[in-house]
Structure 1
Amino acid sequence: MLTLSSGGYIARIAPDAGGTIAALDWQKPDGTTLPLLHAPAGVAPQTETPNKFGAWAMLPFANRAFDSLVDDGHTRFTVPSNNPAGTIHGFGWQSAWQVEEQSAGHTVLVHRRTNGPDPYRYLARQDIRLGEDGMTVTLALTNEADQALPFGMGLHPWFPCAADTRLRMTATGALIFDNQFRATGTQTFADGGPYADNPVFATGAESAWSFLGWDGTARIETPSTGLAITLSASENLRYPMVWAPAGVDFLCAEPQSHAAGAPSERIVREASPLARLQPGETLAGWVRIAAEAI
């Protein structure tokens, strides 16, 4: 496990287990240390199923490719299945990442895919930096195949959620989900969407939203712990998934370069296509997680 520390933040990272940021803590001005990411005690990162804690990269596409199909209207192929519905969150979270650089508050991890039954060949970089402004994760994905291919990416953070936790974020629309998060259409919001008014995040039932037109900032406030977390993302990671099953102590707010299901679903692709990268082209974006005492 790799440990970074700077600016009052401490991160623990598991390069061999999907490059997972297993924990992120912040020291309040009064000396109290609080977790910024959901990190159950005694649970270690693994690559058999998606880790329900920490934060980890989704690439070469984010969220689901139903029936393991990738189709951007130009190129169509299947990828290995890792989920009953098809393929979820790409391959990065199930791969070992190598440490390319490391200092007290900064590391660069790399993961390269050079073989497989599908055409994806790429180089992924995860630049993780701690500072006074929080933890910034910069993802870069370079197409190393000999043909143009559709790519996407995102970061999947799991945030602590208590009975009084509130979520504030605005968007212009969202997908309409059927079973298993498969989209049947899109909807528009005149009022900024379900979290525009900073409601208590409901944990009594499952929450599942794939937003369109997000402004790039979300705020998670928990008065009982005196903590506010600000999540922000670069302009090309503005299709977040917000999800939590019923009765849990976490919520997910996942900045992505495309909406859920875009790799396989035409109706989603029309709202948020994957990036079609030529050989040697790179898709890059950043996500920042910052803490504040309230």
Structure 2
Amino acid sequence: MIILEAQGYRLELAPDRGGSVLRLDWRGEPLMRPNCGSTIFDVASFPLVPFSNRIARGRFNTGARKGRIAPNFPGSDHPHPLHGFGWLNAWDVVEQSADGAVLEHGYPGGEWPWPYRARQSFQLGAEGFTIALSVTNLGDAPMPAGLGFHPYFPRDAQTVYRGRHRGEWYNTPDCLPSSLDEHEEAIDWWQGRPVDTRAVDTAYTGREGALEIDWPSRGLGVTIAPSDGLTTTVVFSPAGADFFCVEPVSHATDAINRAPETLTWLEPGETAEVGMTISARLLA
């Protein structure tokens, strides 16, 4: 485990556990849900590379390359592999200091027919916790690439999430997109109500501005500022849970089959990078 500290923030990383974040605190208060168990779904956050969310039945055909990815949902035979390969593999520590670290993960090619190198950079400072995630195409043909982050946040009956997006996807029961409800202008789909009032697991498109979470019972909030390439936000708020996920990502679910043009296509040797900053704030 790697521990970083600066400006009241404390970050715990687990390179060998999917390059994940185990805990992010500010002044002793957890900003992400602290690690609560032994599986990858129990960590505070993990990276999404080289794609986000599900690929239907694990099959795709870009014209130049075909792929078939086996189910990868730990402990389940769920038919749609999800979140890429980075979250289920160990990452190497490339750099480390008191307030920052760099991790790398390499994929040689296989089910995903393009080899790549992924890198995460973590930094703590006065602005908060900043993380950058990149992927480089190490193959000899153009590679579609998607990136994102999968943080878990604590939740109680008063927790409020605010994020302005133009569209909300409706899903099939197995969480594949079926239709898009889209507005001309970005709106707050919760309309200021607590997270508990909607149980969803879906993607919101056309993000505008930052994302915010408030915990009135704690007098604390966070602002999540994703980079411009993270145009979509996946929100997972299961009914009755004490957590929810707000996932800034670069594309909607199953984009490689439904809208491959929305992915970033990397030429051999080319790199794509995204990032986000999470800043703590006291509520008035």
Using the size of structure 1 for normalisation, the TM-score is 0.89
Q: 1:102 aligned to 83, 96, 111, which one?
A: 96
Partner of 2:270: 281
Partner of 2:2: 2
What one-letter code is carried by the residue in structure 2 that aligns with 1:287?
M
Q: Cα offset for 1:176?
A: 2.3
Equivalenced residues, count:
279
Q: Cα offset for 1:197?
A: 3.1
Match of 2:95, SS? strand
Q: Cα offset for 1:278?
A: 1.0
Q: 1:255 aligned to 232, 242, 248, which one?
A: 248
Worse-matched range after superposition: 89-98 or 189-198: 189-198
Task: Determine the C-alpha separation between the residues in 2 that align with 1:72 and 1:52.
Answer: 34
C-alpha RMSD of the superposition: 1.8
- Say if 1:167 and 1:195, in contact at 8 Å, map to a contact too: no
> Are 2:202 and 1:213 aligned?
no
Task: Determine the C-alpha separation between the residues in 1 that align with 2:218 and 2:112.
Answer: 47
Distance 1:174 1:233, change over 3 A: same
> Are 2:82 and 1:88 aligned?
yes
Partner of 1:223: 216
Q: Cα offset for 1:196?
A: 6.0
Q: 2:195 aligned to 184, 197, 201, which one?
A: 201
Task: Determine the C-alpha separation between the residues in 2 that align with 1:70 and 1:107.
Answer: 35
Q: Cα offset for 1:261?
A: 1.9
Counterparts of 1:18-167 in structure 2, within 5 Å, are 18-27=18-27, 33-41=28-36, 43-44=37-38, 46=39, 50-72=40-62, 75-83=65-73, 84-167=78-161
Q: Cα offset for 1:154?
A: 0.4
Match of 1:51, SS? helix
Q: Cα offset for 1:207?
A: 1.5
Q: Cα offset for 1:72?
A: 4.2
- Say if 1:72 and 1:273, in contact at 8 Å, map to a contact too: no
- Say if 1:169 and 1:198, in contact at 8 Å, map to a contact too: no
- Say if 1:4 and 1:104, in contact at 8 Å, map to a contact too: yes
Q: Cα offset for 1:96?
A: 0.6
Partner of 1:184: 178
Deviations 1:16-42 (A, max 9, x none): 010001100001xxxxx210111155x
What one-letter code is carried by the residue in structure 2 that aligns with 1:243?
F
What one-letter code is carried by the residue in structure 1 that aligns with 2:136?
T
Match of 2:222, SS? strand
Q: Cα offset for 1:276?
A: 1.3
Q: Cα offset for 1:11?
A: 0.5
Structure 2 unaligned spans of 5+: none
- Say if 1:69 and 1:263, in contact at 8 Å, map to a contact too: no
What one-letter code is carried by the residue in structure 2 that aligns with 1:234?
S
Task: Determine the C-alpha separation between the residues in 2 that align with 1:254 and 1:212.
Answer: 12
Q: Which runs of 4+ in 1 moved over 4 A?
A: none
Match of 1:172, SS? strand
State the identity as a percent. Answer: 33
- Say if 1:170 and 1:196, in contact at 8 Å, map to a contact too: no
- Say if 1:168 and 1:196, in contact at 8 Å, map to a contact too: yes
Higher relative strand content: 2
- Say if 1:72 and 1:274, in contact at 8 Å, map to a contact too: no
Task: Determine the C-alpha separation between the residues in 1 that align with 2:188 and 2:171.
Answer: 15
- Say if 1:153 and 1:257, in contact at 8 Å, map to a contact too: yes
What one-letter code is carried by the residue in structure 2 that aligns with 1:5?
E
Task: Determine the C-alpha separation between the residues in 1 that align with 2:42 and 2:236.
Answer: 12
Match of 1:202, SS? helix
Distance 1:229 1:72, change over 3 A: farther
Match of 1:135, SS? strand
- Say if 1:127 and 1:139, in contact at 8 Å, map to a contact too: yes
Structure 1 unaligned spans of 5+: 28-32
Task: Determine the C-alpha separation between the residues in 2 that align with 1:185 and 1:195.
Answer: 16
Match of 1:221, SS? strand
Deviations 1:118-161 (A, max 9, x none): 41200000000011111111001000011112111100000111
What one-letter code is carried by the residue in structure 1 that aligns with 2:14?
A
